[in-house]
Chain A
């Protein structure tokens, strides 16, 4: 319909009837209010029909299973003998979140359970909400020079953009918990500290300490493919 020709209006066009066309100027037939427009009867009847149908369906038929509600990519196809209510009653019923759902942060652990973060300050730098506070300290270990003494995220200020996760060079911060920020009574309680973030974390699967300067030799063949794909200069530009 969007491409309906200027000169030849299709016969089943919904809009006003076109009487004549002069270039871009069209003479159309204007609809004068009819008796049914003045009394509102026809429209009222139609409207009540629609709402009544919805009411009857939702009142008499059982609800769809919670698992079928709120599926990613829209509601499932209409099921026979089920009503159309989409509401998910949250704490009791839950929908599956998409894999990339950004939930509460967590800090990943090293093999010995220590914090993986090297306090590189990438995430507080990139964070648009300035809600990450890191105070670094020296580890005294020559391999890993720094770690956070204080690592705080104010979940009330966080805009859940996920940039901190993107920025982190060593898989230390993640948002894949699938949890929401908890409701709290005091604003201060919404600040997650190093311990609470770490408690949610697990051992990271990324190789500890990196692969070293000769990583090309050690890297698994498959891992190289996506990397070269992402870093390959695009010829289109």
Chain B
């Protein structure tokens, strides 16, 4: 059993493929599936109903959470009907194109701090005590893909999801699906512009496009990154608002669900059924999780727990020391909790607002969000310039 040491474990765990599998199947997929249930249950509560609460395995009921398993089973075993007139190759490709980019984009999200396996039981002092240098080898970074252009990578990859809807509409050989696909591409292209620009201010303030760096440093190097006032929501509140609106439009959900408009105006996946439809559906929910993750990482300090530094809680100079494993566990939990809360908020918005008309959607995107984000970049840049010249 001498092969079972931290070095080999780290070799496996620090592998991007392992991390991706862990993230996708440990966090993203379960959260997205549970969101399918949560969406119905939460909307019910908002409308004075009970919602789905009956699915159970014997006596295990869990308030109905198990509905997502029933849904998955149903979708997998439903007839996968393919109309005769469709373009078969593209018809099959479209759901994959909708689902894959979101899962790939998750690579840039840091979902936890760097783990130092040899120090798990010890307190990780920020200034090492004399005589005992921490053993920082075999570290496992809880981020799959760390590149300086991280958020640009996200924009680039997520644009591909655009093709999913458009190709689905085109390949279906159905006028309504085609129109839905066109609506989808026009909407996504319009809002991608302001989505990218809305984040520009945060780049200026944080000085990096790398989500891990933003999380680990905050906007003001004088304070600990765990201080909530050091998270970017404070200097970038308008940017957060603009990004949130544009990002919700990107997920193609109400109030921006013109591309789908399932019951009345008929969307691009009208010809899809069974698990292929389920993939579009799941992609939408994964996008919710993803948008929440991006907002968490960029604006709300990512995995940072308020006032929790790597050696323990620190209030006003006093330190309540915690071992490394506890810190890591709390930070991963904090990331999950923040993402979950933001998902909840997106569902709240989705069940509050009625759908925009196509013209309202376009004028909101081009006439309001775009100029506002441009103006906000200018203001941020000016502010940064003034601060820099004042601070030397």
Which size bracket describes the interface of B in this complex?
10 to 19
Against B, the Cβ 8 Å flags (1 = close, 0 = not) of A92-131 are: 0000000000000000000000000000000000000000
Residue B46 at the chain A interface, CB threshold 8 Å: yes
* Contact residues in A for B368 (Cβ distance below 8 Å): 38-39
Against B, the Cβ 8 Å flags (1 = close, 0 = not) of A16-60 are: 000000000000000000000011100010011011101100110
Residues of B330-353 whose CB lies within 8 A of A:
348-349, 351-353
Residue B364 at the chain A interface, CB threshold 8 Å: yes
Closest 8 CB pairs of A and B: A87-B50, A58-B45, A51-B352, A47-B352, A51-B46, A84-B48, A55-B46, A55-B45
Which size bracket describes the interface of A in this complex?
10 to 19
* Contact residues in B for A58 (Cβ distance below 8 Å): 45-46, 48
Residue B47 at the chain A interface, CB threshold 8 Å: yes
The interface of chain B, by Cβ under 8 A from chain A, is: 42, 45-50, 348-349, 351-353, 364, 368
- B48 touching A44 by the CB < 8 A rule? no
A-B contact pairs, 9 of them (CB 8 A): A40-B364, A54-B45, A54-B47, A55-B42, A55-B45, A58-B45, A59-B45, A86-B48, A86-B49
| Known A38-B368, A39-B368; contact A52-B49, beta-carbon cutoff 8 A | no
Q: Which residue of A38, A48, A87 contacts B349 across the interface (Cβ within 8 Å)?
A: A48
- B49 touching A85 by the CB < 8 A rule? yes
| Contacts across chains A and B counted by CB atoms under 8 Å | 41
- B49 touching A55 by the CB < 8 A rule? no
Residue A89 at the chain B interface, CB threshold 8 Å: yes
Give the shortest distance, in Å, between B258 (CB) and chain A (any CB): 15
* From A55, A83, A84, A89, residue with most partner B Cβ within 10 Å: A55
Against B, the Cβ 8 Å flags (1 = close, 0 = not) of A151-167 are: 00000000000000000
- B353 touching A44 by the CB < 8 A rule? yes
**Residue of chain B at shortest CB distance from A50:** B352
Q: Which residue of A47, A55, A87 contacts B353 across the interface (Cβ within 8 Å)?
A: A47
- 20 further A-B contacts with Cβ under 8 Å, apart from A54-B45, A54-B46, A85-B48, are A39-B368, A40-B353, A44-B349, A44-B353, A47-B352, A48-B348, A48-B352, A50-B352, A51-B46, A52-B348, A54-B47, A55-B46, A55-B348, A58-B46, A59-B45, A84-B48, A85-B45, A85-B50, A86-B49, A87-B50
